[in-house]
Amino acid sequence: MTAGASAASPLPVIGPFVPWLPSAALPQPVATHGLTGARVAVKDVIDLAGAPTGNGHPLLLAEAGTASRHATCVSRLLDAGGVIAGKVHTDELAYSLGGTNAHYGAPANPAAPGRLTGGSSSGTAAAVAGRLADVGLGTDTAGSIRVPASYCGLYGLRPTHARADLTGVSPLAPSFDTPGLLTRTLPLMRDAAAALLAGTEPGDHTTGRLLAPADLWSLAAPGVRAALSPALAGLADRLGLEPDRAPLFDDRAPFPHSEARDAFTTVQASEVWRAHGPWIVRARPEFGPNVAARLQAACRVGRDREEAARALAATVARWLGKRLKGAVLAIPATPTPAPAYGGPGVGVREALLGLTCLAGLGGLPAFTLPGPRAGGLPVGLCLLAAPGGDEQLLAAGAFAEAT
Of the candidates 144, 150, 175, 270, the residue annotated as catalytic is 144
pLDDT at residue 9, as a whole number:
45
E strand or H helix at 84, and its extent?
strand 83-88
CATH number, position 63: 3.90.1300.10
DSSP string, 104-148: T-EE--TTSTTB---SSSHHHHHHHHTTS-SEEEEEESSSTTHHH
Per-residue tens of pLDDT for the chain, all 403 residues: 655 533 334 678 999 999 765 444 667 777 666 899 999 999 999 999 999 999 999 999 999 999 999 999 999 999 999 999 999 999 999 999 999 999 999 999 999 999 999 999 999 999 999 999 999 999 999 999 999 999 999 999 999 999 999 999 999 999 999 999 999 999 999 999 999 999 998 887 788 999 999 999 999 999 999 999 999 999 999 999 999 999 999 988 999 999 999 999 999 999 999 999 999 999 999 999 999 999 999 999 999 999 999 999 999 999 999 999 999 999 999 999 999 988 755 467 888 999 999 999 999 999 999 999 999 999 999 999 999 999 999 999 887 775 5
How many domains in the chain?
Answer: 1
Q: Please state whether the predicted TM-score (pTM) of the whole model is above 0.75.
A: yes
87 noted as active-site residue: no
Domain that holds residue 385: 5-401
* CA-based R_g, the chain, Å: 19
Contact between residue 327 and residue 385 where contact means Cβ atoms under 8 Å apart = yes
Distance CA 355, CA 366 (A): 11
144 noted as active-site residue: yes
pLDDT at residue 344, as a whole number:
59
Strands 243-244 and 209-211: parallel
6 noted as active-site residue: no
Distance CA 284, CA 229 (A): 47
Of the candidates 87, 96, 120, 170, the residue annotated as catalytic is 120
pLDDT at residue 290, as a whole number:
94
